[in-house]
Amino acid sequence: MSMFDKPILVFQTDFTYKEGAVSAMYGVVKTVDRELEIFDGTHEIPQYDTWSASYRLLQCLAFWPKGTIYVSVVDPGVGTSRRACVAKTKNGYYVVTPDNGALTHIKREYGIEEVREIDETVNRLQSTRGVAIFHGRDLFGYTAARLASGIIDFEGVGPTYPVDEIVEHEILEPIIEEGHVQGIFEIDDPNFGNLWTNIPLEDFNRAGFQYGDFVHTKVLYHDTVVFEKDVLFHQSFGFAEKGAPMLYNNELMKVAMAVTQGSLVHTYGLSFGADWKVDFTKA
Whether 179 and 225 map to the same domain: the answer is yes
Query: What is the average pLDDT across 118-135?
Result: 96
Whether 146 and 271 map to the same domain: the answer is no
Whether 153 and 213 map to the same domain: the answer is no
Whether 161 and 179 map to the same domain: the answer is no
Q: Measure Cα distances from 235 to 114, 194, 238, 257 in Å.
A: 38, 14, 9, 11
Whether 153 and 242 map to the same domain: the answer is no
Distance from C-alpha of 242 to C-alpha of 264, rounded to nearest angstrom: 12
pLDDT tens for each residue of 211-230: 999 999 999 999 999 999 99
Tell whether pTM > 0.85.
Answer: yes
Whether 24 and 127 map to the same domain: the answer is yes
pLDDT tens for each residue of 133-153: 999 999 999 999 999 999 999
Whether 41 and 150 map to the same domain: the answer is yes
Whether 135 and 272 map to the same domain: the answer is no
pLDDT of 79 higher than 80: yes
- The residue from 165, 199, 231 where one domain ends is 165
pLDDT of 55 higher than 60: yes
In total, how many domains does the chain have?
2
Whether 58 and 181 map to the same domain: the answer is no
Mean pLDDT (the chain) is 97
Distance from C-alpha of 217 to C-alpha of 199, rounded to nearest angstrom: 14
Residue 49 lies in a domain: yes
In the DSSP assignment, the letter for residue 46 is P
Residue 4 lies in a domain: no
Amino acid 3: pLDDT: 59
Whether 19 and 155 map to the same domain: the answer is yes
pLDDT of 2 higher than 80: no
Residue 2 lies in a domain: no
Amino acid 1: pLDDT: 55
Q: Which domain holds residue 112?
A: 9-165
Residue 3 lies in a domain: no
In the DSSP assignment, the letter for residue 160 is B
- The residue from 105, 132, 165 where one domain ends is 165
pLDDT category, 5, cuts 50, 70, 90?
A: confident
CATH of the domain at 103: 3.40.50.10790
Whether 76 and 180 map to the same domain: the answer is no
Phi, psi of 229 (to 5 degrees): -155, 160
Query: What is the average pLDDT across 188-198?
Result: 97
CATH of the domain at 258: 2.40.30.90
H or E, element range at 27? helix 21-32
